Amino acid sequence: MFIIFYLNLDIACRYQLGVEDGRIGDEQITASSFYASHLNLHHAPQKARLNAQRTNSSIGAWCAAFDDANQWIQVDLNNAVVVNGVMIQGRGDGNYWVTKFRLQYGVTVNDLVYVQTNHTNQESMVFDGNTDQDTIVTRVFPSPVRATVIRIHPSDWQNFICMRFDLIGCEDCRYQIGVEDGRIGDEQITASSFFASQRNLLHAPPNARLNAQITPSSIGAWCAEFNDANQWIQVNLSAAVVVNGVMIQGRHGVDQWVTKFRVQYGVNEDDLVYVQTNHTNQESMVFDGNTDEDTIVTRVFPSPVRATIIRIRPSDWHDQYICMRFDLMYCA
């Protein structure tokens, strides 16, 4: 039952963002060019809504004025949204569709970068497109992106560059994932070490739940056995989830807390990478932590990540001891 729950969390970040149903207005959809623009708007980018049909004023798709690799169609979402992928179709009344494409994203049109194949190189990803005019093809990004502008670049096509589309993603990414309320089980929370592990479980990683209190069986936090930069605490979510950030506290009732930390993520423990400062370098991001034991500090990632494993690595701490409580935030 638990695994099914978390699979559904990942699926939840695949809502259509509003190209098809009109929540995204005509003025938000633009393109490099459109066919016969000097005569009419029949091929204009606003006609590219998923499942659009031919009418007296529309051919039921966007068609570029030129059939070359410089063409694009884009959406300005007005606000930063988590985008998880794209759904595309060809032109419904003819044998015209896009067979290959790439995607750019950014906060503005001046900072667009390509969706990449993975987190360890700078290679833009080429997505497979359609093989007929009407079948909807859904392509999910290797990792979600936070963007205001999404631009689709056709790179290969059948006869002419024509397409319909929508975006998929989620707008709310601050739900707690379940460390605090127990939806995450004790067995899913592990750590590099914990203090006095040879004697008791008072400092064990399952005691690190946000807002945990001191009890006869818990000191109200996880505390590492060793106080060095090799320590970590992690959650195994059992299935891929779109994670947006972390909430952390210090040890309840004691002046011990983490002041700086980094975050790793991956599908399994063998492929963990660091959350990075941006999309153009390989620098791991150092997050500011707590300044007291009880205030909850929320740190949002520069872009959400799709992961099964989230690992928090303290890099600096107060009062000589690494102790903390936490929860994660996910997108729905």
What pLDDT does 281 receive?
Answer: 61
Instruction: Please indicate, yes or no, if residue 6 is contained in any of the structural domains.
Output: no
> Same structural domain for residues 290 and 194?
yes
Give pLDDT, residue 332: 72
- CA atoms in the 13 A half-sphere facing the CB of 153: 15
CA dihedral 239, 240, 246, 250 (to 10 degrees): 20
pLDDT at 277: 87
Residue type, 323: C
- Identify the pLDDT of residue 44: 98
User: Do 162 and 111 fall into the same domain?
Assistant: yes
Buried b / exposed e over 232-244, threshold 16 CB at 10 Å, is bbbbbbbbbbbbb
State which residues form the domain around 73. Answer: 11-170
Q: In the beta sheet, which residues pair with residue 168?
A: 16, 85
Give me the pLDDT at residue 123, please. 84
pLDDT along the chain (332 residues), means of 10: 38 85 97 96 98 96 97 96 95 96 96 84 89 97 92 98 96 88 97 95 97 96 97 95 95 96 96 85 89 97 92 96 96 78
The total number of structural domains in the chain stands at: 2
| pLDDT for the residue numbered 9 | 47
Residue 89 has which token pair? Answer: 């179709």
**Which residue, 112, 145, 170, sits at the end of a domain?**
170
What's the CA gap between 264 and 1, in Å, rounded?
A: 26
196 and 152 housed in the same domain: no
Q: What is the CATH number of the domain that holds 264?
A: 2.60.120.260
The pLDDT score that the predictor gives to residue 283 is 84
pLDDT at 120: 58
Same domain, 179 and 165: no
Tokens 């492929």, located at residue: 271
DSSP structural state of residue 6: H
Last residue of a domain, one of 111, 145, 170: 170
What is the DSSP track for 116-182?
Answer: BSSSSS-PBPPEE--SSSS--EEEEEEEEEEEEEEEEEEEEEESS-EEEEEEEEES---EE-STTTS
